[in-house]
Amino acid sequence: MRWVAYMPLRAGSKSIPDKNVRPLAGRPLFAWALEAALDSGAFDEVYAGSDSPSIRAAVAERFGDRVGLIERSAATCTDTASSEAAMAEFAAQVPADVLCLVQATSPLTAPEDFRAARERFIAEELDSLLSAVPCKRFFWTAAGEPVNYDPSRRPRRQDFPGWLMENGAFYFTRARLLAATGVRLSGRIGVHRMAAETALEIDEPADWALAEQLLRRHRLAPRFGAIRALIVDVDGTLTDGGMYYGPDGEALKKFHTRDAHGLKRIAERGVRVGVVSAEDSPAVAARMRKLGIEDYYPGVADKLPLVADLARGWGLSLAEIGYVGDDTGDRECVAAVGTGCCPADAVAEVRARAA
């Protein structure tokens, strides 16, 4: 069985211009669900497709060769084109036994959702699968007719089994059935239940702020809460990246006082703070003394072995380490630790691996 995930993206969003590439909680919108698909391990390959060269470039910049790219036709990117049309266009180019349609507008999708859905698909010998959330609401038609309950015997909420509401996060379908029927759901259909908050789909501007709140609470906060030690690069991270030379040739660096305050607050919360730099700068050494940071390691060209040694010495796993860096020398560290972060202007290879 060949499992392939596909996220169709288009440039013509009208309610939120450039929606798919607009930053949401620090990442482009498309990156949340696409990264979850990659991290799930549920797929042999993950693809994205767009009619926009700039969107395809943004995906490539974020994920490199981990995500395949296809060019979508204009016919599948109109306001009236169906998702099935995009799926069929993709299936004609990339072979798959099971195709997963991943929706960028559902950023709360987690890797475990894809894993659990795949397990259900296999265990129940399904032909297609949709994601949904529990819903305990009573529905009526516009004509005043009850849809899902008897008003004369109104059940208590706790006794009402409720319904499952399709949340549009993702769909699995056997490619041969998609080709035969032209629809994403056919044959033996299963349902993967997701958390209630994943009912949110980003279609209107009002959805954006709520999505950021939910992502910070449910996706980012647990990761940051697991950090027991934070290791920070210097140039471009604790400084503005510039190097200033006086008349005698000494190098000066510009630090920001708010970074110092932030590191102090982190240490006060019991998180160990370390600083590592490829350079051995007297200016940085003076700043570390001022801040009282004892775990300062200058002149380190290969940083990951040092980070691993520090973790072992502190009795921590790499999953409990946070790392902040901005340049290619930080790439491996950002990718290896539990929570890798970077400034907004970090190089593309680092941004692609950051939380």
Q: What is the rounded distance in angstroms from the CA atom of residue 195 to the CA atom of residue 108?
A: 9
For residues 4-36, b (16+ Cβ closer than 10 Å) or e, as one string? bbbbbbbbebeebeebbbeebbbbbbbbbbbbb
Q: What is the rounded distance in angstroms from the CA atom of residue 302 to the CA atom of residue 87?
A: 44
Contacts of 111 (CB under 8 A, 6+ apart): 36, 37, 39, 40, 41
Beta bridge partners, 106, equal none
Q: Which of 2, 137, 154, 312 is catalytic?
A: 154
C-alpha distance from residue 183 to each of 4, 167, 180, 187 (Å): 17, 17, 8, 10
Q: Where are the beta strands (DSSP E) in 246-320?
A: 251-252, 272-276, 296-297
Q: Cβ atoms within 10 A of the Cβ of 256, count?
A: 11
Structure tokens at 276: 């590592």
State yes or no: is 154 an active-site residue.
yes
Active centre residues (catalytic): 154
